């Protein structure tokens, strides 16, 4: 994900230091970025940390999201898209992941971070381009969440 820089690192450090018990990942459809983040975070989070994802206009989990996480041993095949109203409260930390669209707003009391990542589902072009885009977002989220969940 060239060009994204390291500005996310201070947010990741702040999240790690927060000591949250429930982290929520938000995007519009809850079909790609937030699902990837939820799967990775559940894989990395210590016991006792709740991980959720949701969207303002939930649709369905993208098969590419399931496939690229399976490549790294994370199974989200049972996940489904959820709306913001479906999220169990309280939430201590919210990470919004939208880049090209307007992100959902979380009105509850929580530490908020914005990591604008491109929507891999919007990629068009050569065969495999969309899958590569999902891999790029997966890898970037793994890098960032490894900092958040560093022990």
- N- to C-terminal Cα distance for the chain? 25
Catalytic residue of the set 23, 93, 98, 133 = 98
Catalytic residue of the set 45, 49, 103, 147 = 103
Catalytic residue of the set 15, 24, 26, 27 = 27
Q: Coil, helix or strand for 55?
A: strand
71: pLDDT confidence band, cut at 50, 70 and 90?
very high
Residue 2 has pLDDT above 60, yes or no: no
- Decide if 86 is catalytic: no
Residue where the block lists tokens 């999902």: 134
- Decide if 52 is catalytic: no
pLDDT at 1: 53
13 vs 51: CA distance, rounded Å: 18
pLDDT at 3: 43
Residue where the block lists tokens 């995007």: 27
Structural contact between residues 34 and 54, judged by C-beta atoms closer than 8 angstroms: yes
- Decide if 147 is catalytic: no
In angstroms and rounded to an integer, the radius of gyration of the C-alpha atoms of the chain is: 14
Q: Express each pLDDT in 46-67 by its tens digit.
A: 999 999 999 999 999 999 999 9
Q: Coil, helix or strand for 94?
A: strand
pTM of the shown model: 0.95
pLDDT at 100: 82
19 vs 36: CA distance, rounded Å: 22
């Amino acid at each position: 994900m060239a060009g994204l820089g390291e500005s996310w690192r201070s947010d990741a450090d702040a999240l790690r230091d927060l000591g949250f018990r429930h982290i929520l990942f938000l995007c519009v459809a809850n079909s790609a970025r937030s699902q990837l983040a939820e799967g990775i975070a559940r894989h990395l989070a210590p016991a006792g940390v709740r991980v959720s994802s949701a969207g303002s206009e939930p649709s369905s989990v993208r098969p590419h999201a399931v496939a690229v996480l399976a490549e790294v041993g994370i199974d989200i095949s049972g996940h489904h898209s959820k709306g913001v109203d479906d999220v169990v409260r309280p939430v201590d930390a919210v990470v919004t992941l939208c880049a090209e669209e307007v992100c959902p707003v979380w009105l509850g009391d929580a530490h908020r971070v914005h990591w604008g990542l491109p929507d891999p589902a919007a990629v068009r072009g050569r065969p495999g381009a969309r899958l590569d885009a999902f891999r790029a977002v997966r890898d970037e989220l793994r890098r960032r969440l490894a900092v958040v969940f560093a022990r």
